[in-house]
Protein backbone atom coordinates (compact mmCIF):
# COMPACT_ATOMS: atom_id res chain seq x y z
CA UNK A 1 0.00 0.00 0.00
CA UNK A 2 1.09 3.59 -0.58
CA UNK A 3 1.84 5.48 2.67
CA UNK A 4 2.84 9.02 3.63
CA UNK A 5 5.90 8.55 5.83
CA UNK A 6 7.78 11.02 8.03
CA UNK A 7 11.16 10.02 6.60
CA UNK A 8 13.53 12.41 8.39
CA UNK A 9 13.68 16.03 9.53
CA UNK A 10 11.82 18.21 7.06
CA UNK A 11 10.96 15.32 4.77
CA UNK A 12 7.80 13.45 3.85
CA UNK A 13 8.16 10.42 1.58
CA UNK A 14 5.58 8.38 -0.28
CA UNK A 15 6.58 4.77 0.31
CA UNK A 16 5.22 1.35 -0.60
CA UNK A 17 4.50 -0.42 2.70
CA UNK A 18 3.20 -3.86 3.63
CA UNK A 19 -0.44 -3.88 4.70
CA UNK A 20 -0.16 -4.02 8.52
CA UNK A 21 -1.28 -7.09 10.50
CA UNK A 22 -2.94 -7.34 13.92
CA UNK A 23 -0.42 -7.35 16.77
CA UNK A 24 -2.83 -8.32 19.54
CA UNK A 25 -6.20 -10.00 20.02
CA UNK A 26 -7.55 -6.56 20.95
CA UNK A 27 -6.45 -4.86 17.71
CA UNK A 28 -8.64 -4.01 14.76
CA UNK A 29 -7.56 -3.44 11.19
CA UNK A 30 -9.31 -0.65 9.36
CA UNK A 31 -9.43 0.30 5.71
CA UNK A 32 -8.86 4.05 5.74
CA UNK A 33 -11.71 5.94 4.06
CA UNK A 34 -10.36 9.46 4.60
CA UNK A 35 -7.69 11.27 6.57
CA UNK A 36 -6.77 14.90 6.99
CA UNK A 37 -3.76 17.13 7.46
CA UNK A 38 -3.44 18.81 10.85
CA UNK A 39 -1.34 21.85 11.77
CA UNK A 40 0.73 19.44 13.88
CA UNK A 41 1.64 17.52 10.72
CA UNK A 42 3.04 20.72 9.25
CA UNK A 43 5.05 21.33 12.45
CA UNK A 44 6.41 17.74 12.32
CA UNK A 45 7.59 18.24 8.75
CA UNK A 46 9.24 21.60 9.37
CA UNK A 47 13.00 22.03 9.61
CA UNK A 48 13.74 22.53 12.48
CA UNK A 49 10.67 20.51 13.56
CA UNK A 50 8.05 22.30 15.64
CA UNK A 51 6.74 18.99 17.00
CA UNK A 52 8.57 15.69 17.67
CA UNK A 53 7.76 12.50 15.74
CA UNK A 54 9.36 9.11 15.12
CA UNK A 55 11.28 8.91 11.82
CA UNK A 56 9.91 6.18 9.57
CA UNK A 57 6.39 6.41 10.95
CA UNK A 58 3.30 6.59 8.75
CA UNK A 59 1.87 10.02 9.58
CA UNK A 60 -1.78 11.08 9.81
CA UNK A 61 -3.57 11.13 13.17
CA UNK A 62 -6.97 12.31 11.94
CA UNK A 63 -8.67 9.48 10.08
CA UNK A 64 -11.79 7.42 9.66
CA UNK A 65 -12.12 3.91 8.33
CA UNK A 66 -14.06 0.71 7.95
CA UNK A 67 -13.26 -2.28 10.14
CA UNK A 68 -11.97 -5.16 7.96
CA UNK A 69 -10.51 -7.47 10.62
CA UNK A 70 -10.87 -7.82 14.38
CA UNK A 71 -8.76 -9.62 16.99
CA UNK A 72 -10.59 -12.43 18.76
CA UNK A 73 -11.10 -10.44 21.99
CA UNK A 74 -12.56 -7.33 20.33
CA UNK A 75 -16.10 -6.61 21.56
CA UNK A 76 -16.94 -3.00 20.67
CA UNK A 77 -16.93 -3.14 16.86
CA UNK A 78 -17.58 -5.61 14.07
CA UNK A 79 -16.26 -6.12 10.56
CA UNK A 80 -17.99 -3.64 8.26
CA UNK A 81 -18.48 -0.93 10.91
CA UNK A 82 -17.44 2.60 10.11
CA UNK A 83 -15.22 3.96 12.89
CA UNK A 84 -13.53 7.17 13.97
CA UNK A 85 -10.10 6.88 15.56
CA UNK A 86 -8.76 8.34 18.80
CA UNK A 87 -5.05 8.49 17.91
CA UNK A 88 -3.81 8.70 21.51
CA UNK A 89 -2.85 5.39 23.13
CA UNK A 90 -2.71 5.31 26.92
CA UNK A 91 -1.37 2.80 29.45
CA UNK A 92 -4.45 2.47 31.66
CA UNK A 93 -2.38 2.00 34.80
CA UNK A 94 -0.42 5.18 35.58
CA UNK A 95 -1.67 7.63 38.21
CA UNK A 96 -3.49 9.80 35.66
CA UNK A 97 -5.13 6.88 33.88
CA UNK A 98 -6.27 5.60 37.27
CA UNK A 99 -7.84 8.92 38.29
CA UNK A 100 -9.78 9.16 35.01
CA UNK A 101 -7.52 11.63 33.22
CA UNK A 102 -5.95 9.49 30.48
CA UNK A 103 -5.21 12.61 28.42
CA UNK A 104 -2.48 13.25 31.00
CA UNK A 105 -1.17 9.65 30.84
CA UNK A 106 2.56 9.47 31.47
CA UNK A 107 3.03 6.57 29.04
CA UNK A 108 0.92 7.77 26.14
CA UNK A 109 1.78 7.64 22.48
CA UNK A 110 0.09 8.83 19.31
CA UNK A 111 -0.85 7.02 16.12
CA UNK A 112 0.36 9.04 13.14
CA UNK A 113 3.11 10.76 15.15
CA UNK A 114 5.06 8.14 17.13
CA UNK A 115 3.24 5.03 15.83
CA UNK A 116 1.96 4.28 12.32
CA UNK A 117 -1.18 6.26 11.51
CA UNK A 118 -3.68 6.92 8.79
CA UNK A 119 -1.96 8.36 5.72
CA UNK A 120 -2.22 4.93 4.11
CA UNK A 121 -4.79 2.44 2.84
CA UNK A 122 -4.90 0.39 6.06
CA UNK A 123 -4.14 0.96 9.73
CA UNK A 124 -4.05 -1.32 12.77
CA UNK A 125 -5.52 0.33 15.86
CA UNK A 126 -6.22 -0.85 19.45
CA UNK A 127 -9.96 -1.53 19.65
CA UNK A 128 -10.38 0.83 22.61
CA UNK A 129 -9.31 3.64 20.26
CA UNK A 130 -12.10 3.14 17.71
CA UNK A 131 -15.69 4.36 17.97
CA UNK A 132 -18.52 3.27 15.71
CA UNK A 133 -20.21 6.04 13.72
CA UNK A 134 -23.20 6.01 11.36
CA UNK A 135 -22.44 5.44 7.68
CA UNK A 136 -24.71 8.38 6.96
CA UNK A 137 -21.92 10.66 8.11
CA UNK A 138 -19.58 11.22 5.15
CA UNK A 139 -15.97 10.17 5.79
CA UNK A 140 -14.73 13.72 5.11
CA UNK A 141 -16.98 14.97 7.93
CA UNK A 142 -16.24 12.09 10.33
CA UNK A 143 -12.52 12.71 9.88
CA UNK A 144 -12.95 15.93 11.88
CA UNK A 145 -13.76 13.85 14.97
CA UNK A 146 -10.28 14.14 16.49
CA UNK A 147 -9.92 17.96 16.44
CA UNK A 148 -13.58 18.17 17.42
CA UNK A 149 -12.93 15.96 20.46
CA UNK A 150 -10.27 18.43 21.66
CA UNK A 151 -12.71 21.30 21.20
CA UNK A 152 -15.46 19.49 23.11
CA UNK A 153 -13.00 18.89 25.96
CA UNK A 154 -12.05 22.58 26.06
CA UNK A 155 -15.65 23.77 25.75
CA UNK A 156 -16.70 21.69 28.72
CA UNK A 157 -14.05 23.38 30.82
CA UNK A 158 -15.44 26.89 30.23
CA UNK A 159 -19.10 25.83 30.16
CA UNK A 160 -20.34 28.73 28.01
CA UNK A 161 -23.94 29.68 28.79
CA UNK A 162 -26.61 31.00 26.39
CA UNK A 163 -26.14 34.73 25.86
CA UNK A 164 -22.48 34.85 26.80
CA UNK A 165 -19.76 36.54 24.77
CA UNK A 166 -16.65 34.76 23.55
CA UNK A 167 -13.45 35.94 21.92
CA UNK A 168 -11.62 33.28 19.88
CA UNK A 169 -8.08 34.18 18.89
CA UNK A 170 -6.82 32.22 15.88
CA UNK A 171 -9.15 31.20 13.06
CA UNK A 172 -7.47 27.97 11.99
CA UNK A 173 -9.29 24.63 12.26
CA UNK A 174 -9.41 24.73 16.09
CA UNK A 175 -10.70 28.30 16.15
CA UNK A 176 -13.34 27.38 13.56
CA UNK A 177 -14.50 24.35 15.54
CA UNK A 178 -14.67 26.36 18.78
CA UNK A 179 -16.76 28.94 16.94
CA UNK A 180 -19.19 26.28 15.76
CA UNK A 181 -19.42 24.38 19.04
CA UNK A 182 -19.89 27.51 21.19
CA UNK A 183 -22.45 28.87 18.72
CA UNK A 184 -24.38 25.62 19.21
CA UNK A 185 -23.96 26.03 22.99
CA UNK A 186 -25.73 29.41 22.81
CA UNK A 187 -22.94 32.00 22.81
CA UNK A 188 -24.56 35.24 21.65
CA UNK A 189 -21.49 37.19 20.63
CA UNK A 190 -18.61 35.31 19.05
CA UNK A 191 -15.71 37.55 18.14
CA UNK A 192 -12.99 35.87 16.07
CA UNK A 193 -9.57 37.43 15.58
CA UNK A 194 -6.85 36.48 13.11
CA UNK A 195 -4.26 38.19 10.91
CA UNK A 196 -5.64 36.30 7.89
CA UNK A 197 -8.76 37.68 6.19
CA UNK A 198 -8.94 34.35 4.32
CA UNK A 199 -9.45 32.50 7.61
CA UNK A 200 -11.79 35.14 9.02
CA UNK A 201 -14.13 34.61 6.09
CA UNK A 202 -14.51 31.00 7.24
CA UNK A 203 -15.18 32.24 10.77
CA UNK A 204 -18.24 34.02 9.42
CA UNK A 205 -19.46 30.75 7.91
CA UNK A 206 -18.77 29.06 11.25
CA UNK A 207 -21.07 31.49 13.05
CA UNK A 208 -18.87 34.37 14.23
CA UNK A 209 -20.92 37.50 14.93
CA UNK A 210 -17.82 39.69 14.56
CA UNK A 211 -14.48 39.11 12.84
CA UNK A 212 -11.48 41.29 13.63
CA UNK A 213 -8.13 41.58 11.91
CA UNK A 214 -5.67 43.17 14.38
CA UNK A 215 -3.75 44.48 11.35
CA UNK A 216 -6.62 46.88 10.75
CA UNK A 217 -8.16 47.54 14.13
CA UNK A 218 -7.39 47.66 17.82
CA UNK A 219 -8.51 44.33 19.23
CA UNK A 220 -8.87 45.44 22.87
CA UNK A 221 -10.79 48.60 21.99
CA UNK A 222 -13.18 46.83 19.60
CA UNK A 223 -13.87 43.94 21.99
CA UNK A 224 -14.67 46.46 24.75
CA UNK A 225 -17.05 48.28 22.39
CA UNK A 226 -18.86 45.07 21.47
CA UNK A 227 -19.02 43.54 24.96
CA UNK A 228 -19.05 46.73 27.10
CA UNK A 229 -17.13 45.06 29.96
CA UNK A 230 -14.91 42.55 28.19
CA UNK A 231 -15.70 39.03 27.05
CA UNK A 232 -17.08 36.34 29.36
CA UNK A 233 -14.66 33.84 27.84
CA UNK A 234 -11.44 34.32 25.83
CA UNK A 235 -9.87 31.38 24.01
CA UNK A 236 -6.28 31.39 22.73
CA UNK A 237 -6.02 28.91 19.86
CA UNK A 238 -2.59 30.26 18.90
CA UNK A 239 -0.62 29.44 22.02
CA UNK A 240 1.36 32.63 22.60
CA UNK A 241 -1.30 35.18 23.51
CA UNK A 242 -2.04 34.64 27.19
CA UNK A 243 -1.09 38.26 27.99
CA UNK A 244 -3.49 39.54 25.29
CA UNK A 245 -6.30 37.40 26.69
CA UNK A 246 -6.05 39.19 30.04
CA UNK A 247 -6.81 42.49 28.29
CA UNK A 248 -9.89 41.06 26.57
CA UNK A 249 -11.64 39.14 29.35
CA UNK A 250 -14.08 40.77 31.79
CA UNK A 251 -13.51 40.69 35.55
CA UNK A 252 -14.60 37.30 36.81
CA UNK A 253 -14.33 35.84 33.31
CA UNK A 254 -12.46 32.82 31.99
CA UNK A 255 -9.43 32.31 29.78
CA UNK A 256 -8.95 28.99 27.99
CA UNK A 257 -5.47 28.20 26.66
CA UNK A 258 -5.66 25.79 23.71
CA UNK A 259 -2.82 26.49 21.27
CA UNK A 260 0.63 25.18 22.16
CA UNK A 261 4.01 26.76 21.61
CA UNK A 262 6.85 25.50 23.80
CA UNK A 263 8.81 28.70 23.37
CA UNK A 264 6.15 31.25 24.30
CA UNK A 265 6.93 33.18 27.49
CA UNK A 266 4.40 35.99 27.67
CA UNK A 267 4.78 38.58 30.42
CA UNK A 268 1.90 38.16 32.82
CA UNK A 269 0.83 40.75 35.37
CA UNK A 270 -0.20 38.34 38.12
CA UNK A 271 -1.91 41.15 40.08
CA UNK A 272 -4.52 41.54 37.31
CA UNK A 273 -5.55 37.88 37.53
CA UNK A 274 -5.98 38.10 41.31
CA UNK A 275 -7.60 41.52 41.52
CA UNK A 276 -10.07 40.73 38.71
CA UNK A 277 -10.73 37.11 39.71
CA UNK A 278 -9.87 35.74 36.28
CA UNK A 279 -9.99 31.97 35.85
CA UNK A 280 -7.32 30.46 33.58
CA UNK A 281 -7.59 26.91 32.29
CA UNK A 282 -5.35 24.83 30.09
CA UNK A 283 -6.86 22.10 27.94
CA UNK A 284 -5.00 19.25 26.29
CA UNK A 285 -6.34 16.82 23.67
CA UNK A 286 -9.48 15.00 24.81
CA UNK A 287 -10.69 12.99 27.76
CA UNK A 288 -13.49 10.45 27.08
CA UNK A 289 -15.01 12.90 24.56
CA UNK A 290 -15.22 10.62 21.51
CA UNK A 291 -18.69 9.22 22.36
CA UNK A 292 -19.91 12.83 22.65
CA UNK A 293 -18.31 13.63 19.30
CA UNK A 294 -20.18 10.72 17.69
CA UNK A 295 -23.44 12.22 18.99
CA UNK A 296 -22.53 15.70 17.72
CA UNK A 297 -21.54 14.40 14.28
CA UNK A 298 -24.60 12.18 13.94
CA UNK A 299 -26.91 15.05 14.91
CA UNK A 300 -25.57 17.28 12.10
CA UNK A 301 -25.77 20.38 14.28
CA UNK A 302 -22.46 21.81 13.05
CA UNK A 303 -21.57 23.25 9.65
CA UNK A 304 -18.45 21.16 9.11
CA UNK A 305 -18.75 21.04 5.34
CA UNK A 306 -17.84 24.71 5.22
CA UNK A 307 -14.41 23.94 6.71
CA UNK A 308 -13.35 21.52 3.97
CA UNK A 309 -11.37 23.62 1.53
CA UNK A 310 -9.46 20.91 -0.35
CA UNK A 311 -9.81 17.23 -1.23
CA UNK A 312 -6.73 15.39 -2.50
CA UNK A 313 -5.47 11.86 -3.04
CA UNK A 314 -2.57 10.49 -0.99
CA UNK A 315 -0.04 10.98 -3.80
CA UNK A 316 -0.65 14.75 -3.60
CA UNK A 317 0.19 14.93 0.12
CA UNK A 318 3.21 17.14 -0.36
CA UNK A 319 1.20 19.78 -2.21
CA UNK A 320 -1.42 19.60 0.51
CA UNK A 321 1.16 20.21 3.23
CA UNK A 322 2.57 23.16 1.27
CA UNK A 323 -0.93 24.64 0.96
CA UNK A 324 -1.41 24.27 4.73
CA UNK A 325 1.98 25.85 5.36
CA UNK A 326 1.01 28.90 3.31
CA UNK A 327 -2.20 29.26 5.31
CA UNK A 328 -4.32 28.79 2.21
CA UNK A 329 -6.50 26.02 3.60
CA UNK A 330 -8.71 25.27 6.57
CA UNK A 331 -9.13 21.50 6.27
CA UNK A 332 -7.57 19.31 3.59
CA UNK A 333 -9.08 15.86 3.20
CA UNK A 334 -6.75 13.10 2.01
CA UNK A 335 -8.09 9.95 0.32
CA UNK A 336 -5.87 6.85 0.22
CA UNK A 337 -5.16 5.26 -3.14
Residues that bind Zn ion (CB under 5 A): 38, 40, 90-91, 94, 97, 105
Q: How far is the CB of 77 from Zn ion (least distance, A)?
A: 23
C-beta closer to Zn ion: residue 92 or 163: 92
- The string of DSSP codes covering 207-250 is T-SEEE-TTTS-HHHHHHHHHSS-EEEEEESSSS-HHHHHHHEE
Q: How far is the CB of 82 from Zn ion (least distance, A)?
A: 20
Distance CA 262, CA 222 (A): 30
Q: How far is the CB of 12 from Zn ion (least distance, A)?
A: 16
Distance CA 308, CA 332 (A): 6
Beta 308-313 vs 165-169: how paired, if at all?
Answer: unpaired
Q: How far is the CB of 216 from Zn ion (least distance, A)?
A: 30
C-beta closer to Zn ion: residue 6 or 246: 6
CB 42 within 8 A of CB 59: no
| Nearest to 196, CA basis, from 180, 215, 209 | 215
C-beta closer to Zn ion: residue 235 or 278: 235
- The string of DSSP codes covering 322-335 is HHHHTT--SEEEEE
C-beta closer to Zn ion: residue 105 or 181: 105
Q: How far is the CB of 13 from Zn ion (least distance, A)?
A: 20
CB 281 within 8 A of CB 158: yes
C-beta closer to Zn ion: residue 123 or 227: 123
For residue 54, the tally of other CB atoms under 10 A from its CB is 14
Amino acid sequence: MLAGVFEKVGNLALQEREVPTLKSDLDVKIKVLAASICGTDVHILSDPPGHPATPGVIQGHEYVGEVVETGKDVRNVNIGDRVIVDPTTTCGSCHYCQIGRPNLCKNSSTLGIFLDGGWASYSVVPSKNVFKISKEIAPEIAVLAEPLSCVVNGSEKVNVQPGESVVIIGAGPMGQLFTQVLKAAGAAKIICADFSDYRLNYSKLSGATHVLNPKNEDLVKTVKEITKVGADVVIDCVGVLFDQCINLVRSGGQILLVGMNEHAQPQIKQYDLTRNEITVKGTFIQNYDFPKVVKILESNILNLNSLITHKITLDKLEEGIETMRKGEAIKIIVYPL
